[in-house]
Amino acid sequence: MDKKNSKIDSRRNFLKNISAGSFIAASGLGLYSCKQTSSNEKTTLLTKEGKLVQVSNSEIEEMEHHGVSPKAAREGIPGQKFVMVVDLAKCKNAKKCVNVCDKHHNLTPDRPYIKVLEMRDNEKSAPYWMPKKCFHCDNPPCVKVCPVGATYKRTDGIVLIDNDRCIGCRFCMAACPYSARVFNWGTPPNENKDDHYSPETSLPSKIGTVGKCDFCPDMLRKGKLPHCIPACPNGVIYFGNELDDTVTNGEETVRLSTILKEKAGYRYMEELGTKPRVYYLPPVDRLFPFERETQENSES
């Protein structure tokens, strides 16, 4: 191992040894700011032994990410403000979105980034299926509590996790009201240790860190849709640039403002003030009758 990689590993190990409880105390005293804007600034941390230490932000700068510089990965794609719309009337629980997401992010079945939930608004209404993933909130609680700047909000609306910085404290998991995050407990099924890590692909994942839906920014840079959208056989998920007021499911392109107005679009648990970038269209005039999942249709 060369000296550069050795230094990076030692820094990451140092951060991993920081006490979570001590971090809470430090932040409560105003000793820590989650905003890291300059390599000349320092972050005050507490070690497991309870000692205050100051670490230059440049000392926790990540390695060059494959294909995209660390700065570009944190700033986002210029001129974009990504938004997603999910039409609940079209969802049949085919789970093609889940399967393709698991495949491209190298996930185990026990920690998917997308979950399809059985929902029922009240005892007299019919149940329906609701795909749920990270909502990439404009006011994200997860970003505010991350003690090392591993979770961050980009100018294009995407919330990402940089696992080169993540220390596995799971504060973000506790802060997320949507339970959209998962913890990487073990080695992924098809791990390639020779791959260069990038927060824009979330690959290769790292044991002891947090993962979630990332809107596939590596695909967006190529002008392509996130993997889950073309994989859906029923056109459930629309995606696009809010600044252009257009979204598409790969086959149909519509005005974002029009579809939200005409179909009464809403944001899940909007009363929390998190300002999600994922909208839902109510399950009105559904294309399919509701069928609970069976072993047969889960494998189809």
State whether 219 and 293 are in the same domain. yes
Q: What is the pLDDT of residue 238?
A: 98
State whether 221 and 288 are in the same domain. yes
Residue range 150-161: average pLDDT? Answer: 98
CATH code of 91's domain: 3.30.70.20
State whether 104 and 29 are in the same domain. no
Q: What is the pLDDT of residue 196?
A: 81
229 falls within a domain: yes
* Proportion of the chain above pLDDT 90, given as a percent: 62
State whether 44 and 102 are in the same domain. no
State whether 37 and 94 are in the same domain. no
The pLDDT confidence band at residue 51, using thresholds 50, 70 and 90, is low
Alpha-carbon dihedral sign for residues 250, 256, 258, 261: positive
Q: What is the pLDDT of residue 47?
A: 52
Residue 231: Cβ within 10 Å count: 20
Q: How far is CA 14 from CA 53, 148, 209, 258, in A?
A: 11, 12, 15, 51
Q: Domain count of the chain? A: 2
Its domain, for residue 57, covers: 1-61
Query: Is the pLDDT assigned to residue 44 strictly greater than 90?
Result: no
User: Mind listing the pLDDT tens digit for each residue in 65-97?
Assistant: 457 888 899 999 999 999 999 999 999 999 999
**In sequence order, what E strands does the chain have?**
42-46, 52-56, 82-87, 115-119, 128-132, 151-153, 159-161, 182-183, 210-211, 237-241, 246-248, 253-255, 278-281
State whether 25 and 92 are in the same domain. no
Which residue type sits at 143? V
124 falls within a domain: no
User: Mind listing the pLDDT tens digit for each residue in 92-140?
Assistant: 999 999 999 999 999 988 899 999 999 998 888 899 999 999 999 999 9
pTM: 0.77
User: Mind listing the pLDDT tens digit for each residue in 4-42?
Assistant: 444 445 445 544 444 333 333 333 322 233 333 445 677
221 falls within a domain: yes
3-state secondary structure of 160: strand
